[in-house]
Amino acid sequence: MRLLAVHAHPDDESSKGAATMAHYVRQGVEVMVATCTGGERGSILNAEMEGHPHAERDLTGLRRHEMAQAAAALDVDHRWLGFMDSGLPEGDPLPPLPWGCFALQPLERAAAPLVRLVRRFRPHVILTYDENGGYPHPDHIQTHNVSVEAFRAAGDPERYPGLGEPWTPQKLYYDRAFNLERFVALHEALEERGLQSPYAARIAMLQESDPEGHRPPAPRHETTTKVRCPDTFALRDEALRSHRTQVAPDGMFFAVSAELQSQVWPWEDYVLAESRVPTDLPEHDLFAGIVG
C-alpha cells in the first residue's frame, strides 16, 4: 500500500497528520510527502532562532534542511513540487498576491507536477486539506485544488498527456488536525489538572464565523475517520522540532505531553472526501475497503 500526503509548505507535514504517516510506515506502507512550495515567503517564527546566521542569511535553504530532518524522523520519502510561496496577505483591503506565486497559477499548470508524481508513486490514498485549506492561507487553498484535481485526473489517459502512465488513487481525505473538538478536549484536560492551557483563544476563534476569511472559521466537515496512533506521537513531536525556525519548543504544539494526549485524544482525524471503494463510516483505517 502507498500513501501520499500533499502539503503547502515545509512544516505543514509535521503539524498535520505526522503521527498517522509514521503509524503507517510502521505497518509497512510506503509513505511520501509532496510539498508544493519552499516556504520562501515565510519568516522566523521561533524567537530562539532570531539572529541565527543561517536563518538570517538563507531562511529558505535552512527550511529545506529542516524538511529533510523531519522526513527522516518520520521515515517518509519527500518530494518538492517546485512552486513559489504566495505569502499570507494581511491588511484591509488585502494586498494582491505576488506575481508568479503558487496560488496564482492556473489549475492545470499547478496540478501538473502532482499528477506526474501520482502516476509515478501510484498512491492508493491521498491526504490533503479541505476547500478552506484547513485555514484560509492562499497556498493551502491551492494545495486543496491541485490535490483534488490530481485525484480525479491522474487515472484518465485523456488528461495530462505525457506525464506518465495513468494511475487511479482509491481514496481522498481531508486532514482535521486543527478541529475544534480536539482543542476543547485538550484544553479541558489541562485545566482539570491545574495546568495552563494555550487553547482558549484558538477555541474562541474556531467558534466564530468570519465571512471575510481573516480568521480560521469553524471546520466545514465532520470527522469520518479516526486513526489511532499514540505510539507515534513522539515521532510527530520530533518532526515538529526539526522545523526549528517555525516551531517554538515551548509553543502550542507541545503544551500537552504525548502521554496526556494519548489518554485524551489518541487519534488523528480525517474526512473521507471521495472514495472509489465501498467503506463503512466511521472508519479507523485510511485503507479500509482497499484490496492490495
Cell of 127: 491526504
Pairing mode, strands 125-128 and 2-7: parallel
Position 188, amino acid: E
Q: In angstroms, what CA-CA distances link 105 with 28, 102, 121? A: 36, 5, 24
Q: Are 34 and 123 in contact (CB under 8 A)?
A: no
Q: Are 73 and 44 in contact (CB under 8 A)?
A: no
**Residue 221 assigned ligand-binding role:** no
Give bridge partners of residue 2 from the DSSP assignment.
30
**Whole-angstrom Cα distance, residue 236 to residue 19?**
5
Supply angle C-alpha 45, 129, 101, rounded to 5: 60
**Residue 140 assigned ligand-binding role:** yes
**Sequence-ordered strand ranges (E) for the chain:** 2-7, 30-37, 77-83, 125-128, 171-175, 225-228, 267-275
Cell of 290: 482497499
CA neighbours closer than 13 Å in the CB half-sphere of residue 127: 29
**Residue 175 assigned ligand-binding role:** no
Q: Are 216 and 135 in contact (CB under 8 A)?
A: yes
Q: Which residue has the cell 494555550?
A: 198
Binding site, annotated residues for Zn(2+): 9, 12, 140
Binding site, by residue number, is 9, 12, 140
